Amino acid sequence: MTDWEKIYKEIEKADSIMLTTHENPDGDGIGSIAALFHHLVAKGKNSRILLTSRLPEEYQFIDPDNKFEIFDEAKHTEWLRNVDLSILLDIGNYTRTGRMWSMIQQNGTTVVNIDHHPYPNGHPFTINVSDINASATGELIYSYLKAIDPSCLSKRVYEAIYTAIMTDTGSFSYNNTNALCHEIAANAIRIGVDTAKIHQKIYASNSRSKIKLLAAVADNLHFTYDGKLVWFKITKAMLKKANATKDDVDGFTDFARGIKGVEVSVMIFEKAENSCRINFRSKGYYSINKIAQYFGGGGHSFAAGAKVSGKISDVVSKVIDKTIEILKEQDKVID
Ligand SMILES: [Mn+2]
């Protein structure tokens, strides 16, 4: 039996199914959920989408029927306690389901995980499909639907899958872009998906506050390690001054990586007084997920993240020192 058949068997058995992705969801998690949701509804399942944080504005078009709910303990505990199957998509690490994880575990039901992030230290899932060669989780959902329920691949489902793949491949530009992504994109165009419009909705909708914050960031970039490493911090005060929100920092680490001569970019974002979020990006020469893993996070070789507790000034020196150390180690191996 293939993995897809195993997963479908679990779906067939279940009456109620919960879909979720990581907190601060991105286009891949959101698109993958929306595509799979159509399949579950077509199969007559009582399905719900529960997110630990809200659907970002630029992805609202994927959810015209308001099926994406924000997990609320008072509202969802009872349902979640009795759910037959939980499906996690693009999660990276199960801890990124936040408060929902303990509930998923407590009810002892089947957990299916579909992801393109690696799981080096084992996993707590009933069925785990972790394919690091896939460009995006959306690509895996496409393969699943093609194998199990090809008639479900409607224009709307292609829209969701296209969104997942476009956002995770940097609009088909990163080195995870593969032949299948382009085949899926071609199918999407043939079925009538307005791909230019999707791109515009997601990438041409920057708020003025976001650009104001980006200007502050661009003014405070720190170059080190022969200019190959660039880092910047975003403090609460900077957010306030630009009138920006935490969602506005999306894409900033990619922007910094795009500078000529830079190989690795690091963002240190002050979440709270004693907690920071760190994002790492690499152009492809250095692998940076080891750094994220050192700080208890995870991700891919060239895009990873972690949460680090402590004051931002302490976190900056800790993270940058460790980053340089790990880049040096890789330079030694490469020499
Ligand atoms: Mn992804």
**Each residue's pLDDT tens digit, 9-44:** 999 999 999 999 998 899 999 999 999 999 999 999
Burial class from Cβ neighbours inside 10 Å (0-12, 13-18, 19+) for residue 334 reads exposed
Dist. CA 241 → ligand 1 center (Å): 31
Confidence at residue 120, expressed as pLDDT on a 0 to 100 scale: 61
Please name the CATH architecture into which domain 208-334 falls.
Roll (3.10)
Q: What is the pLDDT of residues 259-308, one digit of tens each?
A: 999 999 999 999 999 999 999 999 999 999 999 999 999 888 999 999 99
Q: Is the dihedral of CA 316, 298, 166, 53 positive or negative?
A: negative
CA 90 to centroid of ligand 1, rounded, Å:
5
pLDDT score at 145: 98
Residues 88-116 pLDDT 10s: 999 988 888 888 888 888 888 899 999 99
What is the distance in A from the centroid of ligand 1 to the CA of 28?
A: 5
What DSSP string describes 261-282?
T--EEEEEEEEETTEEEEEEEE
Do the Cβ atoms of 144 and 114 come closer than 8 Å? yes
Phi, psi of 238 (to 5 degrees): -65, -40
pLDDT at residue 333, rounded to an integer: 76
CA of 6 to the centre of ligand 1 (A): 22
In this prediction, residues 312-318 reach a mean pLDDT of 96
- Which residues place a Cβ less than 5 A from the ion ligand 1? 28, 90, 136-137, 168
Q: What is the mean pLDDT of the chain?
A: 94
Token output for 29? 């998690």
92 C-alpha to center of ligand 1: Å? 8
Examine the pLDDT at 57 and tell me if it is beyond 80.
Answer: yes
Domain boundaries along the sequence of the chain = 4-203, 208-334
What percent of the chain has pLDDT above 70? 99
- CATH architecture for residues 4-203: Alpha-Beta Complex (3.90)
